[in-house]
Chains A and B, each alone.
Chain A
Amino acid sequence: GIQVEQSPPDLILQEGANSTLRCNFSDSVNNLQWFHQNPWGQLINLFYIPSGTKQNGRLSATTVATERYSLLYISSSQTTDSGVYFCAGAYNFNKFYFGSGTKLNVKP
């Protein structure tokens, strides 16, 4: 299967700081998504981004499909951004492979 590597594994930020999370894939994917798992365990879909750049409020994501990586930018972080961020990729049939996540703690 596809190996998904996320970095960093852990991140501590002061409220208001910016950060970049990275996701590398061992093989090509044609479906790439980012998720946020909040402290209550709920998984929220942030982006469907097989290529290019998208923005949603303080979050944006960029995928460079030819180089098999994706980046998630968080600007002006807030305590509600805390949780675990996962990227997941699939090639056909939506068989998603997940990374091990980046655990983010935003301190007030």
Chain B
Amino acid sequence: DTAVSQTPKYLVTQMGNDKSIKCEQNLGHDTMYWYKQDSKKFLKIMFSYNNKELIINETVPNRFSPKSPDKAHLNLHINSLELGDSAVYFCASSFRPGQGGEKLFFGSGTQLSVL
């Protein structure tokens, strides 16, 4: 199936640990994103990559480091996890503006719980 897939779906970990979330899309898109959804359901962009180049880098602690090995993959590594990092993290993809078809497609989310 064509989709944006991210793993794992659930991540429960202790404070101070390091964890990674992986994302892959097979829609042929050239732009990928990480969004954070807080407990009040508010969605905020964290990062965006276009063809492996970082184009959006919001005010996010430097404990969060995205990595894009190719345009179909975007991973998120989080160091020294804190309680406040608990949230749902969504990966998404689209075409870059001007190319048409800029619809944003989301993965199913990773619910991160830091204990």
Contacts and interface: CB of A to CB of B under 8 A. Distances in A.
B104 A92 contact: no
A91 B112 CA distance: 30
A86 B105 contact: no
B2 to A, nearest CB: 13
Interface stretch (B18-26, B67-75, B77-85, B89-97): B89-97
Contacts of A31: 97, 102
A100 B40 contact: yes
Interface residues of B, number: 25
Most chain A CB neighbours (cut-off 10 Å) among B43, B88, B96, B106: B43
Given A31-B97, A48-B103, A100-B40, A42 B108 contact: yes
A72 interface: no
Interface in A1-55: 30-31, 33, 35, 37, 41-45, 48
Contacts of B41: 37, 84, 100-101
Interface string A87-108: 0101011111010110000000
Contacts of B5: none
Nearest to B94: A94
Contacts of A95: 45, 48, 56
A30 B97 contact: yes
Contacts of A96: 45, 104
A48 B102 CA distance: 8
Contacts of A30: 97
A94 B102 contact: yes
A98 B43 contact: yes
A92 B97 CA distance: 7
Nearest to B9: A41
Q: Which 4 pairs between the two chains have the least Cβ-Cβ distance?
A: A43-B106, A98-B43, A48-B103, A45-B103
Given A33-B104, A94-B96, 13 more contacts: A31-B97, A41-B111, A42-B109, A43-B90, A45-B105, A45-B106, A48-B102, A93-B48, A94-B56, A95-B48, A96-B104, A100-B40, A101-B41
